[in-house]
Structure 1
Amino acid sequence: MDFKKKIYILLTVGIFFLSLSGILIKLVSAPPLITAFYRMLFTVLLLTPYFFIKHKSKARYFLDYRPLLVGFLLAVHFILWISSIQYTDISNSVIFVALQPLFTIILEYFFAREDLKEGAVIGIIMAVIGSTVISVGDLYQLGDKLFGNFLALSAALFASSYLFIGRGVRKKLDYFPYLYILYTYAALFLGIGVYLFKIPFTGHGLNNYLLFLALAIGPTLIGHSILNFAVRYLSTSIVSLSILGEPIITTFLAWLLLDEAVRLTTLIGGAFILGGIYLASVYNNHQKRRQSEVKQAQS
């Protein structure tokens, strides 16, 4: 087996671990804020020894206001997404959160003055149609699943916001120290939230703490680390588009392990959304590649 095939297999493993996130969260019985806090706290604790051994000099970036802001946005993203799973189906939640790349394209259009090509516009329209189909299917539970869908959609917006704003910091920092500082600030803000809402930090049961640890090790450390490794050897577009497999795998696991039914409207709407994300991402990446080639030709 050649090296590139091994990378593809490794990438598949990474997507699988990312897909476990929604399943593990569904099994947790603790409040969403506590779940988000301990997921980040355990992640930071596991990463701390390596950071101070290899990247101690990068600690000065803790004083940069941008990682602080991005960490806050990440914390809000986790709260919204984990909360959404309590109100709607896992399949709905992961599909709406997958809209993150489309929000990123829209933010780039408004704030980075990057053109919206026809393919990206068609992709966004497809995603809107898919979101409408899923929401119409949930109309019979207006106060429940529609609210959960809205939370997941908001989580996608905050995810794209923290990625968009964090681009400037990532240009100065290696991926690992940037991620460590980001996770640390997210854990800090989530801890403040737990304190302000007077949620006890302890007494949530051994099973929940084990699930918190599993969230930190599986989706966060293993899943994201593999994606970061794979992007060194595969194109960014392939890695970013492979993430579209996450809602598909999560939906299948929810049906298999949690006996969660998948409605026809979710399947139809999800197909539109994932197809739209694929189309928009392909055109967006193609556009950026052409712009890069033009700049290189001019220089």
Structure 2
Amino acid sequence: MVEKETYLKGAGVYYVLLLGVVTLSFAGVFVAMSDAPAITIAFYRMSLSVILLTPIFFRRNDCRLEKLLNFRQTVVGFFLAIHFILWVTAFDYTAVANAVIFIALQPIFTLLLEFIWAREDLQPDIIAGVFITILGSLVVGAGEIGNLFANIKGDFLAVMAAFFAAIYLFSGRSLRKKMNYFPYIFSVYFYASIFLFLGLFIFGHSFTGYGSRNWLLFFGLALGPTVIGHSILNLSVRYVPTTIVSVAVIGEPVLTTLFAWLLLGESIPQLTFPGGLLILLGVVFTMTRKSG
């Protein structure tokens, strides 16, 4: 039986969601600093997250080993693993500007899923916010619009990554209504790490030999963008429609660009400023209209 959860009330969910997106935005910086293969980064990001959360799992009364033996969490974990594999691999083939455009497809996919299975979550103001953020993403990527579809493989991987992210969040919202928060995130991360382990084995990458710098980055990805960032996304979908969470996540690449400028000295494309403002406007518009 699912206990009644009272973690968030009212507008509090949006402040927490903002914290999650900000924390999640450091993932791109950490990945850029690592020279390990993409799937290796994804595997250690998830497996170290599971290790960090294991002591808490065994101390909680609502966490039992039989809760791991559930087909539904296995499927959600599979969706998360596929999203990570597709997303980090896409950057090997497509421009970052293209990825910013394609990540905007995620809330469109969630809107479609809600239209089919959860029409009660559909609201006109949410749809308007989605299209404002999409417009902002197009502005951000307009500087390299000539490269759009220059590499079909990379662009297709980015689109599919957005699609699986939408499925991951949408299926998680449904399942979160039936499970307590911590057993849910632990089991999903556990299965995602297993699928990533299989992927690492299938692609023939080494599990060792990455140096202390990479291990620190793996740990940073686990502790920040995953244990805090992704866990907040999973908490938020219990309280608000999946599309709102997806819209908020569109702000991630803008913040990642800012952090890369501050921490790595990378240049910021000129159109990132007006496009980023539109994205943030769409995010704020969606959240305030829903919370109001």
Instruction: Answer whether TM exceeds 0.5 for this pair.
Output: yes
Partner amino acid, structure 2, of 1:74:
L
1:250 offset after TM fit, Å? 2.1
Q: What amino acid sits opposite 2:143 in the alignment?
A: G
Taking the aligned partners of 1:204 and 1:264, their CA distance within structure 2 comes to 35
Which residue of 2 is the match for residue 43 of structure 1? 49
Range that drifts further, 185-194 or 213-222? 213-222
Counterpart in the other structure of 1:68: 74
- The DSSP-based 3-state class of the residue aligned with 1:173 is coil
- The answer as to 2:22 corresponding to 1:21 is no
CA contact (8 A) 1:138 1:146 kept: no
Do 1:26 and 1:85's aligned partners in 2 also have CA atoms closer than 8 Å?
no
Q: 2:235, 2:74 → 1: CA distance?
A: 25
Q: CA RMSD in A?
A: 3.8
Q: Whole-Å Cα distance in 2 between the matches of residues 53 and 115 of structure 1?
A: 35
Instruction: Structure 2 unaligned segments of length 5 or more: list them.
Output: 1-9
Contact 1:130 1:268 in 2 (8 A): yes
In structure 2, C-alpha distance between the alignment counterparts of 1:33 and 1:136, rounded to whole Å: 29
C-alpha change, 1:221 and 1:57, in structure 2 (3 Å) is: closer
Equivalent position amino acid for 1:23 in 2: V
Structure 1 gap segments, 5+ residues each: 290-299
* Inter-partner Cα distance in structure 1 for 2:152 and 2:116: 28
Q: Go from structure 1 to structure 2 and tell me whether the alpha carbon gap of 1:145 and 1:159 turns closer, same or farther (over 3 Å shift).
A: same
Report the CA distance shift for 1:249/1:135 in structure 2 as closer, same or farther (over 3 A). Answer: closer
Does the CA contact (< 8 Å) of 2:23 and 2:224 recur in 1?
yes
TM-score, normalising length: structure 2: 0.76
Give 1:167's aligned residue: 173
Shifted more, 114-123 versus 27-36: the winner is 114-123
1:29-178 residue pairs with structure 2 within 5 A? Answer: 29-55=35-61, 57-87=63-93, 93=99, 97=103, 100-114=106-120, 116-141=122-147, 151-178=157-184
Asked if the contact 2:46–2:192 (Cα under 8 Å) also holds between the matched residues in 1, the reply is yes
Which amino acid letter does the alignment assign opposite residue 251 of structure 1?
T
The structure in which a higher percent of residues are helix is: 1
TM-score (norm 1): 0.75
| Equivalent-residue separation in structure 2 for 1:126 and 1:83 (angstroms) | 28
- Cα distance, 1:143 vs structure 2: 6.8
Aligned residue identity for 1:64: N
Task: Output one character per residue of 1:150-195: Cα deviation in whole Å (capped at 9) or x when no partner.
Answer: 5444323212211111233212211111000000000000000011
Is contact 1:37-1:187 (8 Å) kept? yes
SS of residue matched to 2:266: coil
The 1:140/1:105 distance shift into structure 2, 3 A limit, reads closer
Query: Which structure would you say has the larger Rg?
Result: 1
Kept after mapping to 1: 8 A contact 2:79/2:165: yes
Q: Give the direction of change, closer, same or farther, for the CA distance of 1:174–1:115 in structure 2 (3 Å limit).
A: closer
Count how many residue pairs are aligned between Structure 1 and Structure 2.
279
Q: Return the letter of the residue paired with 1:82.
A: V
The reply on whether 1:200 has 2:197 as its aligned counterpart is no
**Identity score, percent:** 44
